[in-house]
A = this chain, B = another copy of it.
């Protein structure tokens, strides 16, 4: 399965958010294309060893945001209308997590160069490979 979703149970990020994020990333990386059908709620829940409610919640959030489309009786599909942001809009949308990162880094005493290095290292480990978080 090309979704390659990994759940990090130890962290503080809600599981439904992790699923939603990684679906979006699969979409952005091209592993999931417009119109593709996603695994059923129950199938994905079983694969991830997670409560079906949690998967349903993730799908519902994405449908609400227009990322996915639900066709009752058929399944859930990647939406055909993908949002495209201007550069300014992209920057605005990452402003909050960016601030959070910088703040936390300053608290633990990191210098700017070290923060940039940490980001580079993190991006290097991305690839089309599995989703970011370590597994437990």
Interface, chain A (partner B; CB < 8 A): 9-14, 21, 24-25, 27-29, 61-62, 64-67, 69-72, 74, 81-94, 96-112, 114-116, 118-120, 122-123, 126-127, 130, 132-133
Contacts and interface: CB of A to CB of B under 8 A. Distances in A.
A97 B120 CA distance: 14
B100 A97 contact: yes
B116 A120 contact: yes
A109 B82 contact: yes
B83 A108 contact: yes
Contacts of A87: 114
B100 A118 contact: no
7 contacts: A13-B100, A83-B108, A83-B109, A84-B86, A84-B88, A84-B92, A97-B101
Contact of A24 (B9, B69, B107): B107
